[in-house]
Amino acid sequence: MARVEMAMDCRCLTGESPVSHASGEMHFVDIEGCTIHGYDTIAGRPCRNLSTEGRMVGNVVPCASPAMANIDLLASLQTSVVPVSFSDTNESKVREHIAIIPDAHLHAAHTFRFNDGKVDPCGRLWAGTMATDALENPDASKLGRLYCVQRATTPSKHTDLAATYEIVEKLGDIGISNGLEWSGGHMYYIDSLKLELSVFDFDENEGAICNRRRVFHFPREGGVLDGMTVDAQGKLWVAIALGGAILQIDPETQTELLRIQLPVLGTTSLVFGGKDLSELYVTSGTILEDKMGSDAPQAGGFFQSPCAWSKRPLVLAGLHFVIKWFY
């Protein structure tokens, strides 16, 4: 049985979007806690936390490019995507947005925010949205969308960052946009309210998706499919929110290969990390724990599970993708 232990007792309301850096450092978010957490996997301690100034943060991705000097991360805050920097004095700054959800996609009766997001192999940022009442209100259960943030296809005379990039809708009629991953010419995607993991054919050059089909269905009573990552063998790893588990899934046979239970119910997302990416790190949240009437003492923690049996090549780390995007 795989060993799971607490790496960081951060009591996240909803931990999400863990990302690995080549240095061994990691970042993840607390959505309602309006915080970006940092963790040093080499030293085994927290580092470089950042308040998002009261704005809910759906995801972060690493950023390192000459085109955006001194920018460390991109963060999806509420309805906008913004660059984030950490100064030498450990003071942190959130910059002006580079992309924002179009007004035409918002509804006066509902509040929207970005949720999970990730960078594809050509460096485009894919980020989904949800209505904040999507779980409770049937009228809000199909208002989410999936977007791609990329360099603008039409040259602009303006020099500001918002004019340099464009946000393109890729999918609509989404409940809660969640896990994303790419492997072998495919894009894998989770809409949590559909209780299924889908796959698309993915055109890497154009960033186009087509031919959607189901890879894996999860029973409603077992929890909710949430964040996702992929290992070096192309097997998918999915966090089961409200179910306290992470699953390894074979997309070819559409079967569950492995299940790891955690000491909490509110598991939300996961990523391979550490210096050689041989450890699995998992986020969780106390809000999900409360929904299940649980009072697990480690709820909201950031967990670690050594898994040398499933190493992931460093070249696939998100940092590599983002460098290509902003170069």
Q: Report the chain's terminal Cα–Cα distance, integer Å.
A: 43
| Model pLDDT, residue 207 | 92
Confirm whether 295 is a catalytic residue.
no
* Count of structural domains within the chain: 1
Q: What predicted TM-score, i.e. pTM, was given to this entire model? A: 0.91
Q: Average pLDDT for residues 76-84, to the nearest whole number? A: 93
Q: What does pLDDT average to over the chain?
A: 87
Distance CA 243, CA 250 (A): 20
**Band of the pLDDT at 326, cuts 50, 70, 90?**
very low
Tokens 């303006």, residue located: 158
Better pLDDT: 65 or 119: 119
- Tens of pLDDT along 151-184? 777 655 555 665 678 899 999 999 999 999 999 9
- Domain hosting 275: range is 5-326
Q: Is the pLDDT of residue 97 over 80?
A: yes
Q: Which of 188-197, 213-222, 288-297 has the highest mean pLDDT?
A: 188-197
Which residues lie below 8 Å from residue 93, measured CB to CB, with a gap of 6+? 84, 85, 87
Are 164 and 156 a contacting pair, CB within 8 Å? yes
Q: Is the pLDDT of residue 311 over 60?
A: no
| Model pLDDT, residue 34 | 96
Are 291 and 310 a contacting pair, CB within 8 Å? no
| % of the chain beyond a pLDDT of 70 | 86
What is the amino acid identity at position 3?
R
CATH code of the domain in which 143 resides: 2.120.10.30
Q: Which of 226, 276, 290, 295 is catalytic?
A: 226
- Using only C-alpha atoms, the chain has a radius of gyration, in whole angstroms, of 18
- Tens of pLDDT along 102-114? 999 998 889 999 9
- Tens of pLDDT along 242-281? 999 999 999 999 999 999 999 999 999 999 998 778 899 9
Distance CA 119, CA 123 (A): 6
Q: Is the pLDDT of residue 122 over 80?
A: yes
